[in-house]
Chain A
Amino acid sequence: QKEVEQNSGPLSVPEGAIASLNCTYSDRGSQSFFWYRQYSGKSPELIMFIYSNGDKEDGRFTAQLNKASQYVSLLIRDSQPSDSATYLCAVKPRDYNTDKLIFGTGTRLQVFP
């Protein structure tokens, strides 16, 4: 089992719709969870982080965390073509001796006009 799993996609949604991106993780003691956006040929950039159960909203983005189910998701409301990118889920594991992140392979999102 991979430590962080994501559906590779592509996930195709029409402009204006809600895009829902999902991620599961295996280390139950994981502390913090991150969503990075990566445009083709570019480096990842942080969109959101979450570390408490529940929802966290920032503009059109909402991160949801359910530690009991080991599940984290990212909702993008009013999707725009400019949101088309690969979204990487990253998890900070329980190991207190390191601050590395474990990344999933990413979900490619396509927003069509």
Chain B
Amino acid sequence: GAGVSQSPSNKVTEKGKDVELRCDPISGHTALYWYRQSLGQGLEFLIYFQGNSAPDKSGLPSDRFSAERTGGSVSTLTIQRTQQEDSAVYLCASSLAPTTPHYEQYFGPGTRLTVT
């Protein structure tokens, strides 16, 4: 079946502009995660959605970052007033059973954001 999809695949924006990144999780997956990966670095957790529960926003680096998930499916990550340090690959993942001790997060192809 279809995997996690993200759009756009690449985004170049000027410093100070706002950007929106979209994630479409695997159908039926109730949990959705956003991570970012800077060049040569591991994945940094940003935000987690599970069903109708309040999201875990503990990883958002500043109030310029926000995310929403509409209808329990598609999610949008918004970065306002982008800065050069926001340049990274933004990865979305979804999973089916987050309440079990072990589970698999399936990752999308990512959006490469470049802030000039």
Contact = CB atoms under 8 A, between A and B. Distances in A.
Contacts of B56: 97-98, 100
Interface string A45-82: 11001010000000000000000000000000000000
Given A97-B56, A100-B33, A103-B42, A44 B102 contact: no
Contacts of B99: 99
Given A99-B95, A100-B48, A100-B56, A44 B107 contact: yes
Q: How large is the interface on A (under 10, 10 to 19, 20 to 34, 35 or more residues)?
A: 20 to 34
Interface residues of B, number: 28
A105 B98 contact: no
B105 A101 contact: yes
A45 B31 contact: no
Interface of B: 31, 33, 35, 40-45, 48, 50, 56, 58-59, 91, 95, 98-99, 101-110
Q: For the complex, would chain A's binding face be called helix, strand, loop or mixed by DSSP majority? A: loop
15 contacts: A32-B103, A42-B109, A43-B109, A46-B106, A49-B104, A88-B42, A99-B31, A99-B33, A99-B48, A100-B33, A100-B56, A101-B33, A101-B45, A103-B35, A103-B43
